[in-house]
Amino acid sequence: MNIGKENGNVEMKSKQKWKELIEENDYILVGVGEEWESDEMGEELSEAYERLAGMLAGTDYFVVTTAMDGWIWKTDLDKNRIVAPCGNRNFLQCSAACCEEIWRREDAPEGGQCPRCGASLVPNTVEEKPYVEAGYLPQWKAYMTWLQRSLNRKLLLLELGVGFRTPTVIRWPFEKTAYLNQKSTFYRVHEKLFQLPDNLDGRGNAVAKNSVEWLCSL
């Protein structure tokens, strides 16, 4: 396992290093996970998103996030290049999932009840069972199409703060994509869960740092 030497004097060079790494890849796939989830868009988080958007500007990227706070939609990242399969707490769904409709919290029907069946409205996230998936499926299709295009091309995978809350969404598929694509480079940044599988033939890099802080330090 390669633990990134991202501290000390090396840090001075990391901005340039990242610029080069991004330039030499055709596609950039970013995974945003639990380390980014927050009740409020604090200064550091805002800065991290800003840096990420700046880093990705002008590249062919896609961002998959499991954060359910919806902050990512308020950043400079391209909304056509984001998918949030775990949902967004700012949207509501019928708790009985009688329909595929979702409402912005501020536009929700009065009384907080589903206009069709009368059940209570609940946040449109994967934590609700049943979960109304209509909110993210169109973007999921866009993501799958994009991912197909990246096959056999130079692909940089940047996994930021993704743990094991929903490993089937980012963590395990990213490992598989990195394994299958021999032209890929995989960076896993996480304060504690930075461990890599051992089948990446030197294409994997682990950075044992909180990914929000790490991005702000670039």
Site of interaction with Zn ion (CB under 5 A)? 94, 96, 98, 114, 116-117, 119
Select from 1, 52, 11 the least CA-distant residue to 205.
Answer: 1
The Cβ-side half-sphere exposure at 151, using a 13 Å CA radius, reads: 5
Quick one: 94 or 155, whose CB is closer to Zn ion?
A: 94
Q: Which pair of tokens denotes residue 167?
A: 């490993």
Quick one: 15 or 116, whose CB is closer to Zn ion?
A: 116
SS3 217: helix
Select from 92, 51, 54 the least CA-distant residue to 70.
Answer: 92
Quick one: 117 or 144, whose CB is closer to Zn ion?
A: 117
| Least gap, CB of 97 to Zn ion (angstroms) | 7
| Least gap, CB of 101 to Zn ion (angstroms) | 8
Look at strands 184-189 and 155-160 and give their pairing: parallel
| Least gap, CB of 100 to Zn ion (angstroms) | 10
Quick one: 77 or 114, whose CB is closer to Zn ion?
A: 114
Quick one: 88 or 93, whose CB is closer to Zn ion?
A: 93
| Least gap, CB of 92 to Zn ion (angstroms) | 11
The answer to whether 103 and 121 are in contact (CB under 8 A) is yes
The whole-angstrom separation of Cα 82 and Cα 63 is 5
| Least gap, CB of 122 to Zn ion (angstroms) | 10
Phi-psi category of 70—alpha, beta or left, where left has phi over 0 and alpha has psi -120 to 50?
left
Select from 64, 49, 67 the least CA-distant residue to 125.
Answer: 67
